[in-house]
Copies of this chain bind each other. A is one copy, B any other.
């Protein structure tokens, strides 16, 4: 404690230098007017002001210190914002299904890490961070994983892949990242702890049954490897989360090619498989983004197929999205997106918080603005 007081006092005396050399305040505020509707007998529709339709709204504090000899230390604290209402997001403290804490309030749910980095051996990172299996779902979707109707993340959540506690980030993680400058190759591995005690058990399913250990509930392990150089970007990742109610496995492969000769057209695709306990699902995505002056046109087609549910074979959903972003500057943009989602084999996925009848379509449009700071 004394150490901290001393260090903080040193920082206070030199507060200007402190603030300028070591801490960066950053963020995104993104809001859009969104209309979505389902179809069929059970349809609903809705007008909303939404957030994060182009990029996730956030507020963060980060800094790094050069320790000499190629070594540096850094921290990163980033909270998610629901700026349509002024609220924040819960974090999940143990990577388990019961670990959500802080619904609607500000937490550093997006990232909360401290790192030691070396130019030769890479980076060791401790805290709450993105899982290796998340990144490909964002990088190879022209709409990212934003909260808007363009993003295709919902397809990745059929079995809970992207919606699982470890789908995007994990708490209690130790991560290792390869150093930069490996000729375009990069990679990372993460282990995250559910932190149950050694004799933790589930309540018996039936009275008198033997208790089942859940000491590994919420443990996550994952790895990602990629190559990015010139026009090429390809990346593969796989991860396993141990859940007491059935393990979750997620693997994905993404690739993109940027054609500088074709006005900077970038085409991209992703294929992924997920399984939760004994049920499998798989999906894919094709998309492109095309710079046009100060703007950008983007589009994607995605499809998700799940194992049969009961005697209905392979519920399937498909989605087409088309968007335009106009960049006033590097920081400020306005945008518009339209999307249409179709269902078959009993699926009833719908856009943006509405309902659609099984095998019926859902459509929507939205327009908003985004500021990065």
Contacts and interface: CB of A to CB of B under 8 A. Distances in A.
B29 A19 contact: no
Nearest to A354: B197
B371 A114 contact: yes
Given A11-B26, A33-B174, A193-B47, A112 B77 contact: no
A355 interface: yes
A77 B55 contact: no
* Residue among A30, A110, A126, A138 facing the most chain B CB atoms (10 A cut-off): A126
Contacts of A73: 328-329, 331-332, 369, 371
B109 A197 contact: no
A234 to B, nearest CB: 15
Interface in A98-118: 101-114, 116
A27 B31 CA distance: 24
Q: How large is the interface on A (under 10, 10 to 19, 20 to 34, 35 or more residues)?
A: 35 or more
A143 B355 CA distance: 48
A172 B200 CA distance: 40
B102 A44 contact: no
Contacts of A172: 48-49, 84-85
Closest 5 CB pairs of A and B: A1-B144, A101-B104, A86-B112, A4-B55, A31-B126
12 contacts: A8-B26, A8-B372, A11-B26, A19-B24, A46-B197, A49-B174, A67-B329, A67-B332, A81-B108, A84-B128, A85-B94, A116-B334
Given A86-B128, A87-B101, 7 more contacts: A1-B146, A19-B20, A48-B193, A49-B171, A74-B371, A87-B108, A88-B107
